[in-house]
Amino acid sequence: MSLTRRDFAGRIAVSGAGIALAGSVGALASAPNALASTETVSVGEDAEDPWDRHGGAGYGPLVPDPDGILALPAGFTYRVLTHGGRTRLESGEPTPSHHDGTAAFDGPRGTTLLVNNHELGGPRSRWEHPVPLAEGLVYDPAAAGGCTVVELRPGGQVAEWVGIAGTSTNCAGGSTPWGTWLTCEETEDRAGSNGMTEDHGYVFEVDPADRRANRGPKPLKALGRYAHEAVVVDPGRGHLYLTEDASNPNGLLYRWTPPEGFRHGRGRLRGLPDDAGRLQAFKCFDSGGRFVDDLSRATRIGTVYGVDWIDVPDRDARTTSVRKQFTDGQVTRARKLEGMWWGDGGAYVVSSFARAESPGAEHDGQVWFYDPRRRTLTLKILLGVDAGPARDGALDGPDNITVSPYGGLVVAEDGDGVQHLFGATDSGRTYPIARNELNIGTEEAPEYSEFAGVTFSPDGRTLFACIQKPGVLLAITGPWKRQRR
């Protein structure tokens, strides 16, 4: 059923036009280089502390790390759990590289289980440390990517094993309410191209607690074949929301509706027919009922769009990529639709940046909130173009996100120059949590990889995060506190 202009106007009135920011994230109006309304707010060049605008939020300035891995506020510590090519799996093989999306689950006997994506695309020969082809866990023996499961025991011991292998370009993914992990392939490679022997661009389910359940990997074709990035599950309605990181044309936000009578649970998605349920792409319109072709059109925090959902003609993209099956005016697009997280009764959705490939205004990051009850999409965060990414304190390229148990969001930065984990309070203040100091470039031309896989432990005491290159999984602990509204 379409959302009419009258319906949309009523829902805006009920929600206060989406400008009175509620829940667990604010507008970041005071963030360095954030775009609030039409003004760009940036850090003063003469500021001693480049984060001195965070207004008392957070944990204070970051302390440089003598080991050159992670700068943290005073009182915080980190531990390296896995390191691509250095630590070892239970099998004795090296940990795969290029860590990405991660989720944490309660395990047996007081353990914490983490599932860690490894974003390795193309043939295995391209990578020094691909995901090992563990017996019974391989989808395509030509592909380098997959997931590992990391077990953190109460005494501090760490064990790691393969959860799935032979998949490609495993990016953000997402956890399920029933305790499993959905790993997403950010590729459209077909069998016979780029060295692959199977079609790719699917979602696979990985069970961290049951190794036998992961045998014989099966793509969840009902969720479509495209450059998947992230996925979240609406625990009440059963819908799955999925982002697509693609361009030419820009990617789409999707919703999968389960078939009538279907009930979610461990392994049940694997039993569905390839055409089960409905896969749809989003179509936005403003309060005047005008179609919005791309999310880059929004230039003010608090912008609210109504959302309709349009059926995907061929979800397996047998001849044409899914996003190319729609003509202009049918769907809304956005550049680099990446991280998602379910919280506050809806889905937080990231668009990392927009440039010339987008028809609206350039930006260095948006975070939207989709309310499934009102079927509205509200712009919560808008980062202006970062003119000096090498300067500490500037922000660009939000990617993986999580809702913090201490209020607000924690965001992994994937932009140019300096890379941070940063928080955003309910009142819209930002504050630093960590800075990547692992230089993978040279002293003359330093380079710092993106952060990814940001997620809290089930008890909220530990923040896990990844440095993608060369692939480091970190556990951060310290004096966490609830951020004041």
pLDDT above 80: residue 29: no
Residue 349 contacts residue 340 (beta carbons within 8 Å): yes
For residue 13, pLDDT over 70 is answered with: no
CA distance 418 to 32: 13
Structure tokens at 325: 């099956």
pLDDT at 76: 98
Q: Which of the pair, 38 or 55, is modelled with greater confidence?
A: 55
Q: Does pLDDT of 28 surpass 50?
A: no
Confidence of residue 119 (pLDDT cuts 50, 70, 90): very high
Query: What is the DSSP-derived secondary structure letter of residue 251?
Result: B
CA atoms within 13 A on the CB side of 278: 8
Do the Cβ atoms of 147 and 471 come closer than 8 Å? no
Mean pLDDT of 342-360: 96
Domains of the chain and CATH, by start:
5-477 (2.120.10.30)
Measure the CA–CA gap between 151 and 148, rounded to whole angstroms: 10
Q: Which three-class secondary structure state does DSSP give residue 14? A: helix
- Model pLDDT for residues 404-432, shown as the tens digit of each residue: 999 999 999 998 899 999 998 766 677 89
pLDDT at 170 over 90: yes
- Eight-state DSSP code of residue 217: -
* Angle at the Cα of 58 from the Cα atoms of 388 and 378, rounded to 5 degrees: 70
pLDDT at position 255: 98
What type of residue is 314? D
Q: Which residue has the higher pLDDT, 238 or 12?
A: 238
Q: Which residue has the tokens 């791309």?
A: 294
Percentage of residues of the chain with pLDDT beyond 70: 87
pLDDT of residue 485: 57
What gap in Å lies between CA 292 and CA 296, rounded to an integer? 9
pLDDT of residue 63: 97
48: how many CB neighbours lie within 10 A of its CB?
7
**8 A C-beta contact, residue 384 and residue 34:** yes
Could you report the per-residue pLDDT of 80-117, keeping only the tens digit for each? Answer: 999 999 999 999 999 999 999 999 999 999 999 999 99
Instruction: Determine the pLDDT at residue 3.
Output: 60
pLDDT mean across residues, the chain:
89
pTM for the complete prediction? 0.91
Average pLDDT over residues 200-212: 98
Looking at residue 143, the DSSP 8-state letter turns out to be B
Handedness of CA 368, 334, 230, 331 (dihedral sign): positive
**6 pLDDT more than 70:** no
On the question of pLDDT at 147 being above 70, the answer is yes
Q: Which residue has the higher pLDDT, 338 or 13?
A: 338
pLDDT, tens digit, 9 for 90 and up, residues 221-235: 999 999 999 999 999
Between 412 and 36, residue with greater pLDDT? 412
pLDDT at 52 over 60: no
Is a pLDDT exceeding 60 seen at residue 36?
Answer: no
* Whole-angstrom distance, CA of residue 36 vs CA of residue 64: 31
Is 47 within 8 Å of 40 (Cβ atoms)?
A: no
Residue 34 has pLDDT above 50, yes or no: no
Cα angle 74, 78, 83 (rounded to 5 degrees) comes to 150
The token pair at 393 is: 């304190």
Q: Cα separations (Å) of 250 from 35, 199, 296, 364, 473?
A: 22, 22, 11, 16, 31
Write phi, then psi, for 331 (nearest 5 degrees). -140, 165
Q: Which residues, listed in sequence order, are joined to residue 366 by a DSSP beta bridge?
A: 351, 382
CA-closest candidate to residue 250, choices 326, 318, 333: 333
The band of 2, judged by pLDDT with boundaries at 50, 70 and 90, is low
